[in-house]
Amino acid sequence: MIITIRNDRYIRFRLLEQADAGKLIVYFDSLSDETRSRFGPHPFDEATVYQFCQHPDNTIKRYIAIEPSEEKIIAYMLLRKGMTEGDHQRYAARNQFFDQHNIVTFAPSVADRWQSSGIGSAMYNCIENELRSKGVKQIVLWGGVQATNEKAVGFYKKHGYRLAGSFWHDEKDNYDMVKWL
């Protein structure tokens, strides 16, 4: 799918394929320490990337955006059926329970050079439309979001996420946020 972003630029948006492993490794290598410190649903080493490209887990969808002229991956987002065990336990400790059949867990990332240029929102809108059409009821954040991550907190608020609670992890304050569809 082609999506138009700001200034009439466009990107290609699709699911990750087995042949994308090399490009995804280049993408992870390009991320700044700041972005890596904010986004960490899994390790970024080659072995991990080849493992999930060659043996896809059917509970996780991996979306990528590609910059057409350079053929580089410029965004990578994960969507997981249900909640991770850690997230589930944290919500449960606050007496917040969800039907695991109707909830997904989301983790977005955009390459540093492309952040704040509308790519995250363009991809997110496509993903959310797909989730609505499938009857998904809630989206939660994978591992929450660091309270100091202003870009991401602004992004989630803009897309209608609400604060569900806060927690201390890795010597940092974090928020759990939920979108009700």
Provide the binding-site residues for ligand COA, judged by CB under 6 A.
35, 38-39, 108-110, 115-121, 141, 145, 149-152, 154-155, 158
Is the CA virtual torsion 107, 78, 26, 14 positive or negative?
negative
Judge whether 15 and 56 are in contact, CB under 8 Å. no
Q: Which residue is nearest to ligand COA (CB)?
A: 120
Least gap, CB of 75 to ligand COA (angstroms): 7
Least gap, CB of 33 to ligand COA (angstroms): 11
Q: How many other C-beta atoms are found inside a 10 Å radius of the C-beta of residue 18? A: 11
Q: Which is nearer to ligand COA, 20 or 176 (CB)?
A: 176
Q: Which is nearer to ligand COA, 16 or 152 (CB)?
A: 152
Q: Which is nearer to ligand COA, 29 or 99 (CB)?
A: 29
Least gap, CB of 142 to ligand COA (angstroms): 7
Least gap, CB of 108 to ligand COA (angstroms): 4
Q: Which is nearer to ligand COA, 79 or 141 (CB)?
A: 141
List of long-range contacts for 83-91, beta carbons under 8 Å, 24+ apart: 83/140, 84/142, 84/143, 86/143, 87/140, 87/141, 87/142, 87/143, 87/144, 87/176, 90/144, 90/165, 90/167, 90/176, 91/140, 91/164, 91/165, 91/176
Least gap, CB of 137 to ligand COA (angstroms): 21
Q: Which is nearer to ligand COA, 28 or 155 (CB)?
A: 155
Between the alpha carbon of residue 18 and those of residues 49, 111, 121, the distances in Å are 10, 21, 25
